[in-house]
Amino acid sequence: MTLEEYHRLTPLPHPRGVVYVKPGARGYPDPVYDLLARTVEPFGERALDLNPGVGWASLPLEGRMEVDRLETSKAALLALERSGLKARRALPWEAEEGAYDLALLVLPAGRGSRYTQLALLGAARALRPGGRLYLAGDKNKGFERYFKEAKALLGYGLVLKREGAARVALLEKEREAPPLPEVWSSFTEEVYGRTFRFFHLPGVFSAGRLDPASRLLLEALEEVEEIRGLEVLDLGAGYGGLTLPLAHRGARVSAVEDDWASVLSLRRSLEENNLQAEVYHSDVDEALPEEARYTIVVTNPPFHVGGSFILDVAQAFVHAAYARLRPGGRFYLVANPFLKYEPLVEALFGQCETLRLEAYKVLFAVRR
């Protein structure tokens, strides 16, 4: 998949209109979102979708009540904007309290239990007394557990639909929701002779420890590069596992990240560690200035989106690295050994070298 193909928004017919979709954006194709779209009914005047993805599930409510959507993915936000659907960049527990008659939540189980529990709490707090929650999920990804937790928060609930592993339940708010707890966590790691404190919100990749693949890439980079003063692009920066150590070594780092919780985590980590970098909430490289070019690009690319195995995003990262490097610029990628990035890197760069091969591999290429 080329970078142009990755960024292309594709219109899809929906029983209630048209939804634009793209690789890397949740919500289509997805049997859970589809079952919710065929189940949801209007109730009251205001609705809130707390995990909308491309908006497939809440589109049936358009024109029948006011619909707000809170979304963290830049890829999904671009799709929602193109579809003309109201949405804003926010975390699911940041909704206005007691402001909605109806809420929809496709369980974000792939982001971990803490994030999912906070999303449930966000739904409970957003609903007015007597408000309703449509809860959708996969029975193989904890639906029954989270349905029980939702009933403990809200009150009465029942499962309305079952198709394969997909489930949709309806709950009614019968009790006051508890206050929002502290959502920030932190941990320390020593890299390049300095102890960093990384701050992170729930749901970010490798929360609680520096990902060992990122550490391997940093070790490999230290062996071959003096990066002080160089312009470095960190593709898919997360909470800053690569960005902070590279900024500490004196690189001028630009960091791009699709997930808003990770962007907020990275910005706080930079501030708390007295380091500087340019941070962009970005679908791959789309938020960067068009003319931006770099001497080094590093990436520990994702290969899961919404809990599903997908390589489109990582493939787009490789294309973006090639496009953003100056002639003579160097590309470093770390990945699981079973992921066959070498042919793609070779096709673009003309060569691909393996610098390290342990539990993970570090690939290296130069733009000629």
Report how far residue 342's alpha carbon sits from residue 340's, in angstroms, rounded to the nearest whole number.
6
Distance CA 214, CA 210 (A): 7
The token pair that represents 218 in the structure block: 């940093």
Beta partners for residue 366, in sequence order:
330
CA distances from 56 to 33, 34, 78, 168 (A): 7, 7, 14, 15
Cis peptide before 13 (omega within 30 of 0): no
User: Which CATH number is associated with domain 185-366?
Assistant: 3.40.50.150
Residue 309 and residue 317: Cα distance in Å, rounded?
16
Domains 3-172 and 185-366 are alike in CATH topology: yes
Q: What is the pTM of this model?
A: 0.96
Q: Residue-wise pLDDT tens for the chain (368 aa)?
A: 889 999 999 999 988 888 999 988 999 889 999 999 999 999 999 999 999 999 999 999 999 999 999 999 999 999 999 999 999 999 999 999 999 999 999 999 899 999 999 999 999 999 999 999 999 999 999 999 999 999 999 999 999 999 999 999 999 999 999 999 999 999 999 999 999 999 999 999 999 999 999 999 999 999 999 999 999 999 999 999 999 999 999 999 999 999 999 999 999 999 999 999 999 999 999 999 999 999 999 999 986 444 444 578 889 999 999 999 999 999 999 999 999 999 999 999 999 999 999 999 999 999 99
CATH code, 3-172:
3.40.50.150
Those residues whose C-beta lies under 8 Å from the C-beta of residue 132, and which sit 6 or more positions away, are 43, 101, 102, 103, 170, 171, 172, 173
**Token pair listed for 344:** 């793609």
Q: Alpha helices of 57-195 — where are they, by DSSP H?
A: 74-83, 113-126, 143-154
Q: What stretch of H or E contains 11?
A: strand 10-14
Give me the residue spans of the domains in the chain. Answer: 3-172, 185-366
Residue 70 and residue 99 in contact, taking contact as beta carbons nearer than 8 Å = no
